[in-house]
Amino acid sequence: MTTPDAAAARVEVLIEQLRAGPDPRSALVADELVRCLVQLYGEGLRRVVERLGPEGATALCDDPLVESLLLVHDLHPAGPRERITRALERLRPRVGELDLLGIGDDGVVRLRAAGSRGCGSAQRSLIESAVRRVAPEAVRVEVETPPPLLQVTRRPG
Amino acid sequence: MSGPGLRRFTVAPVPRCELCATVIGEEHRHVLALADRSLLCACHPCHLLFQAPGAGRFRAVPDRYLALGPADGEALGVPVTPAFVVAHGEGERLVASCPSPAGTTECEVDGAAWDRLAAANPLLREPVADVEAIYLTGREAFLVPVDACYALAGAVRSRWQGGDGGPAVRHLLDAFLHDLRSRV
């Protein structure tokens, strides 16, 4: 199934090809073409969501593709706090306890990982991509971790 | 960038150099493409690159403003003032453009009349061909960069009302002249 992310990746590859070509100006034209259509369809979606009202819009979000399109255009019926909290709940079995500390006016999402499983870089990127998926307006995701406990392991061998 | 993926297309574009596609600020310089006399937004290095005289297809637009003293636009046969006079090519024809609801209306300036005017005021020979213009208010002349002329012509076209442009256009022209006087 196609997704907005896959479509965006394809668009960026094509625009990059034009930018590297003999006339880089064509990349700017292509950029403007995409902008024209994305904004037109965005305006259409905005009117659809407006007509459906909050309940109808929430029902639309049952379809993951439609939900991600609503996110692209800032039309999702749930606010970022609600979306992020729900995403953290889904992550809990894999990364442990996570709290949303806040979303700054600067677009920085601050989280606290309290779980005993620590927070390695792989987990960090897992958390970050989960947050970005439901809150593309996030500029940065910061994860606070408690100071590491002294780990006692058996000497190998 | 307003966020990942398609979101960047939902907002106004980040200004980029039209020669090398580098991201540039809202405040930037321009380069004139001689083939179709179109202005391209340029980053500082690209602008520098085309400052050398006779540099091929593109020419950097300078940013100097000068008061050139008195000049009688009517003696040139330019029908409307204000008007911009630009030399198309070195020692080639002079073209006067008048801002109008259709963009700019162009007419060729009578060479002999121009020579008489320039004999009285040698400063009129100062502008660099293609990229600098003489702005004629009717009584005075100013040297201005062509990108400023294009910007004024665009603003006039979008605000034109009725037969003579209306108060919005008069206000625009007054503000432009005021700005000119503060820069020279």
Domains in chain A (CATH in brackets) are 4-72 (no CATH), 80-144 (3.30.300.130)
Confidence at A156, pLDDT banded by 50, 70, 90: low
What mean pLDDT comes out for the span A122-133?
86
pLDDT, chain B, mean = 86
Share of chain A above pLDDT 70, in %: 90
Q: What is the pLDDT of residue B21?
A: 82
Q: What is the pLDDT of residue A1?
A: 56
Residue type, B74: E
Could you give the C-alpha distances from B108 to A84, B6, B77, B131, B141, in angstroms and in order? 65, 48, 9, 17, 18
Q: What is the pLDDT of residue B86?
A: 92
B13–A35: do the CB atoms touch at under 8 Å?
Answer: yes
Residue A84 confidence (pLDDT) above 80: yes
Range of weakest confidence among A141-155, B26-40, B95-109, B142-156: A141-155
CA–CA gap between residue B104 and residue B121 (Å, rounded):
26
Cβ-contact B133, B109 below 8 angstroms: no
- From the CB of residue A80, how many other CB atoms can be counted at a distance below 10 Å? 20
Closest CB to B4: pick one of A19, A25, A136: A136
Distance from the first to the final alpha carbon of chain B: 38
Q: What is the pLDDT of residue A119?
A: 58
Q: What is the pLDDT of residue B98?
A: 86
Residue A140 near chain B (CB below 8 Å): no
Most confidently modeled range among A84-88, A146-150, B4-8: A84-88
Confidence at B1, pLDDT banded by 50, 70, 90: very low
B9–A5: do the CB atoms touch at under 8 Å?
Answer: no
What mean pLDDT comes out for the span A101-127?
80
What mean pLDDT comes out for the span B28-36?
91
Pairing mode of beta strands A98-103, A108-113: antiparallel
Residue A129 near chain B (CB below 8 Å): no
Residue B20 near chain A (CB below 8 Å): yes
Q: What is the ipTM of this complex?
A: 0.76
Residue A11 near chain B (CB below 8 Å): yes
Closest CB to A72: pick one of B7, B13, B19: B7
CA–CA gap between residue B40 and residue A23 (Å, rounded):
13
For an interface test with A, give the residue of B9, B11, B31 to mutate (most A CBs within 10 A). Answer: B9
User: What's the alpha-carbon Rg for chain A, to the nearest Å?
Assistant: 20
For an interface test with B, give the residue of A14, A19, A25, A140 to mutate (most B CBs within 10 A). Answer: A25
- Nearest alpha carbon to residue A97 among A111, A109, A115: A115
Q: What is the pLDDT of residue B2?
A: 39
What mean pLDDT comes out for the span B55-76?
85
What mean pLDDT comes out for the span B27-46?
91
CA–CA gap between residue A148 and residue A146 (Å, rounded):
6
Residue B35 confidence (pLDDT) above 60: yes
Residue B120 confidence (pLDDT) above 90: no
Closest CB to B13: pick one of A32, A42, A74: A32
Distance from the first to the final alpha carbon of chain A: 50
Closest CB to B10: pick one of A5, A38, A139: A38
pLDDT, chain A, mean = 86
Task: Please name each of the domains of chain B with its CATH number.
Answer: 9-60 (3.30.40), 66-183 (no CATH)
Residue B113 confidence (pLDDT) above 70: yes
Residue B1 near chain A (CB below 8 Å): no
Residue A59 confidence (pLDDT) above 90: yes
CA angle A123–A127–A131, rounded 5-degree value: 170
